Amino acid sequence: MPDLYAVIGNPIAHSKSPLIHAEFSRQTDQDMRYEALLVPLDGFSVAVEAFRKFGGKGMNVTIPFKLEACKISTRLTERAATSQAVNTLVFDDDEILGDNTDGIGLVRDISSNLDFMITGKRVLVMGAGGAARGVLLPLLEHQPKVLTIVNRTKQKALELYQRFFEYGFVIPAGYEDLPGHEFDIVINATSASLSNELPSLPPGIFAAESLAYDMMYGNGSTPFLKFARQQGATHLSDGIGMLVEQAAESFFLWRGLRPETEPVIAMLRPET
């Protein structure tokens, strides 16, 4: 019987994780199966328990269960504890280890795949939801010159500042505070692209040779990436690389092996 893994969420039909993990296990010759589990909004913990009892070895967790996954974990890694969001569960006897691989996925995509340095740069993270929280600590570990968190509801940016200021130079902001400031890396961690919207970014925020990164993937160029191109950002990326890199880190936690990510990113990225 192959080792059993799953991604759990609601909705889940759009998830590319089963495809990615099938590729990873084929590459590394692992005897494992990886499925997508759709569960009712009030059924997360029951579904996890049933999966564990059935012999499941681990899970990826996606919208809207990342906070709940944090609560049911019996042990958390530091990156999961600081973000209070879990996207990877590892089951080992009675222990449920909760980790968050979103941030390391983003940082690897930016620094290795896109070959763009984070250290010493002015970084703007847009959004204060689960995705934003998960990437702040890994970004700060690369010692940017300054990391500004901007959110539509400014209070949430302030709350994130309180949680992360001890890890680096962090500034909380509302969009109205941005005019007059330039950034080398602008990361869209809002869900605005999902509804084809552009957060209220002012002109002039992209420094020369800057990177615009949209965590959203799969729908071609987003309003944010179009705006960034018009505003002079020279490096543009969607979130496919992050998606594959976070999956690779989960795979490593479960199997102790690092799959090759480049061919999987190429496979998922539509021809431009």
Residue in 220, 14, 235, 217 with CA at minimum distance from that of residue 113 = 235
Tokens of 169: 């130079």
Residue written as token pair 């901007």: 150
Least Cβ distance, residue 40 to ligand NDP (angstroms): 19
> Which among 10-18, 68-76, 127-135, 166-174 is the span making contact with ligand NDP, rule CB under 6 A?
127-135
Q: Among 56, 58, 103, 127, which residue sits at the site for ligand NDP (rule: CB under 6 A)? A: 127
Binding-site member from 18, 43, 129, 232 for ligand NDP (CB under 6 A)? 129
Q: Among residues 48 and 128, whose Cβ is nearest to ligand NDP?
A: 128
Smallest distance from ligand NDP to CB 157, Å: 8
Using the rule CB under 6 A, is 223 a contact of ligand NDP? no
Cβ burial, residue 53 (10 Å; 0-12/13-18/19+): exposed
Residues marked as catalytic: 66
* Residue from the set 239, 254, 264, 265 that interacts with ligand NDP by CB under 6 A: 239
Judged by CB under 6 A, the stretch of 29-37, 42-50, 125-133, 136-144 that binds ligand NDP is 125-133
Instruction: Please give the C-alpha separations between residue 104 and each of 26, 97, 115, 162, in angstroms, as whole numbers.
Output: 23, 17, 15, 22
Residue 76 is a binding residue for ligand NDP (CB under 6 A): no
| Closest to 148 in 3D by CA, of 183, 197, 105 | 183
Amino acid at 7: V
Locus of tokens 């002039």: 204
Q: For ligand NDP, which residue of 242, 248, 264, 265 counts as binding (CB under 6 A)?
A: 242
Sole residue written with tokens 């949680």: 163
CA atoms within 13 Å, Cβ hemisphere of 97: 15
Near ligand NDP by CB under 6 A: residue from 83, 88, 190, 210: 190
Interface with ligand NDP includes 174 (CB under 6 A)?
no
Residue 102 as a binder of ligand NDP (CB under 6 A): the answer is yes
Asked whether the beta carbons of 125 and 139 are under 8 A apart, the reply is yes
